[in-house]
Amino acid sequence: MKKFLALLLTMAMALSLAVSCGNNDPSSSDSTASGSGSSSEETITPLTEITLPIVEDPITVTDWIVWSSDYNTIDEVEAYQELERLTNIHVEYTTILGSAATEKFGLLLASGDYPDIVDVGAGSGLVQYPGGDDAGIDDGIWRDLTDLVPIYMPNYRELINQNDNARRESITDQGRYAGIYMLRCKYGSIEDKEIEIVAEPSWLGMVVRKDWLDELGLEIPVTVDDLYNVLVAFKEAGYGRLGMAGNGMIHANVPYVLGAWGVTNEFYIEEDKATVGYGPVTDEYREYCSMMNKWYEEGLIYQDFMSNDIGTNGNTLWANGTLGVYAAGWVGINDYLYLNGFTDDPDFWLEPMLNPVMNEGEIPKVTYQSDTALAPMYITTSCPEEYVPYLLQWADYGYTWEGMLLGSHGVEGVTYEVDPNSEYYYVYTDRVMKREIGGAILDPFTARNLCVLANFHCLYNWEAQQNLYRQAGQGKQINGYDVWGQETQDIMVPLRVSFTSEEGNEFNNIYVDCKSYVEENTVQFIVGTLDINDDAVWEKFVSDLENMNYQRCLELKQTAYTRYMNK
């Protein structure tokens, strides 16, 4: 009986598509469509392209989206208006501030009153279904799109299979499509309209006061020993120190210098690329702490790093000469602080550098990671069944060349023009380059975000963003990408390795204490409160972590990593 009802439902969907979508209706053939996970004998030929409009007669759907702007509403954005015009699908958006996304999402789930779409946008790190996306499907909140994406999203399915990371990051641990993900990309070939799915190069890394190096006749440090010699020279000249976060790392989230020892301050991937290790209990971690203690005692490290004020006061500490080497994002490098009034020194210059290695010629082992697939759109079970194929085709338009231009550049003739003779090819207009609101000229990056499909599930062309900065005369800032984006033997655990609900609960119950204990002791090792060179002190540190059962956390992380790599 259930199979018969599923067959009737699928036939009804196909008939509805034939009436409303014209050429957007895949004809019956040899590919099975099981609509949201149900089984069916009906076969539908997958679409090979998206025909516009998606529907002849406009339809309206609802979308809960993490999105915000100080200057306009989402309905006023030209790209969103153009998307509706092209597709005939009107979306009633409920916009949520990123700062409130976690709370609002919890209230949404508790209400039981769901929109057709939940579009987490830039809040993807904040909006997560409890227990993961497989649980979201099993609990009947997210629609299972596993059998539908291959039929109704020809562009998306091709692009996610172009890149292993994109494929792994866009499916659940059980191999299902729960959401449709924004994909990071760059131009493959403008002439042939080819798109290359690739993560954005690292946009954050180590930087050094190049003006000081030049004054002292020094080169940018390459090895750990080089870095030590530069810091000694800076100190002797009365210049700034090495910045450090309150957890004992050069940056709060990336163990830039520790990576030279081949480990991290948490879990890492060993040389065989299959085994997960735990850095804090290794001899290499002890050696790092011992060296940092030596540097601290010699006055080469910012002495008040334990206060962790670098995260909130970094620009001031750079500008007043307290820091000589630390980390920064690409938008804040070079003479940014001088141009923005943080310092009156016209020679001030922050130069990007690779994180140091142990021996010259080695390749760095850690980097600031970037997702390839992010910010998913979910279709909820509240969405009418007959609308689901339309919404998938509507979403798939964002993964065409034209959809990429709309998402990353805006509307041709409004926000950009095509000029094959220009080095940029797609040239932004004054709508972006000289946008004035309230008597003030907006910076081009802010202005562009008012015109494109910002925070939307589609292709995110990071190369287009770089060209925007070049066109604005700020191309020198892009060299951070060139430096930090060089090849690494990355030992960092991939960002999207995830636990099941049960694994996550067990891991978090144990690891919160391990993490705090490691950070507290690392700081004490560095400042000398605990003698890292005393075998008894070190053995107690490792023994305490064993008693906290870090080994179980390692087992859980290994299981999750193996599962991720086997997707």
Tell me, what's the pLDDT at 559?
97
Nearest to 328 by CA among 258, 268, 256: 256
Structure-token pair, residue 365: 């082992």
What distance in Å separates the CA atoms of residue 208 and residue 335, rounded to the nearest whole number?
Answer: 12
**Looking at the structure, do residues 87 and 141 belong to the same domain, yes or no?**
yes
Q: Strands, E, within 220-275: which ranges?
A: 241-242, 267-269
Name the residue range of residue 537's domain: 501-565
149 falls within a domain: yes
Tell me, what's the pLDDT at 11?
37
Q: What is the CA radius of gyration of the chain?
A: 26
**Looking at the structure, do residues 443 and 521 belong to the same domain, yes or no?**
no
Which is it for the CA torsion 249, 253, 257, 258, positive or negative? Answer: positive
Which residue is associated with the tokens 């690891």? 511
CATH number for the domain spanning 406: value is 3.40.190.10
**Looking at the structure, do residues 531 and 423 belong to the same domain, yes or no?**
no
211 falls within a domain: no
**Looking at the structure, do residues 64 and 162 belong to the same domain, yes or no?**
yes
103 falls within a domain: yes
What is the total count of domains within the chain? Answer: 2
**Looking at the structure, do residues 79 and 189 belong to the same domain, yes or no?**
yes
Tell me, what's the pLDDT at 38?
42
SS3 146: coil
Q: Is residue 268 classed exposed, middle or buried when 0-12, 13-18 and 19+ CB atoms within 10 A define those classes? A: buried
393 falls within a domain: yes
Structure-token pair, residue 461: 């062309």
Please identify, among 441, 460, 479, the residue that sits at the C-terminal boundary of a domain.
Answer: 460
Please identify, among 409, 439, 460, the residue that sits at the C-terminal boundary of a domain.
Answer: 460
485 falls within a domain: no
**Looking at the structure, do residues 451 and 539 belong to the same domain, yes or no?**
no
219 falls within a domain: no
**Looking at the structure, do residues 79 and 185 belong to the same domain, yes or no?**
yes
**Looking at the structure, do residues 455 and 514 belong to the same domain, yes or no?**
no
Tell me, what's the pLDDT at 478?
82
How would you classify the pairing of strands 241-242 and 323-329?
Answer: parallel
Nearest to 324 by CA among 301, 304, 346: 301
Please identify, among 434, 460, 486, the residue that sits at the C-terminal boundary of a domain.
Answer: 460
CA torsion angle 8 9 14 17 (round to 10) = 140
pLDDT along the chain (567 residues), means of 10: 36 38 44 44 84 97 93 93 97 92 94 95 74 92 97 96 93 94 94 94 94 98 98 97 93 92 97 97 98 98 88 89 94 91 96 95 90 93 97 97 96 96 94 92 90 88 90 84 85 89 91 97 97 98 98 97 93
The 3-state secondary structure of 11-52, one letter per residue: HHHHHHHHHHCHHHCCCCCCCECCCCCCCCCCECCCCCCCCC
Tell me, what's the pLDDT at 125?
66
**Looking at the structure, do residues 444 and 556 belong to the same domain, yes or no?**
no
**Looking at the structure, do residues 506 and 456 belong to the same domain, yes or no?**
no
Tell me, what's the pLDDT at 235?
97
Contact 380, 141 (CB under 8 A): yes
Tell me, what's the pLDDT at 122?
63
Helix (H) or strand (E) holding 323: strand 323-329
407 falls within a domain: yes
Q: Which neighbouring-strand residues pair with 61?
A: 91
**Looking at the structure, do residues 111 and 184 belong to the same domain, yes or no?**
yes
Contact 253, 368 (CB under 8 A): yes
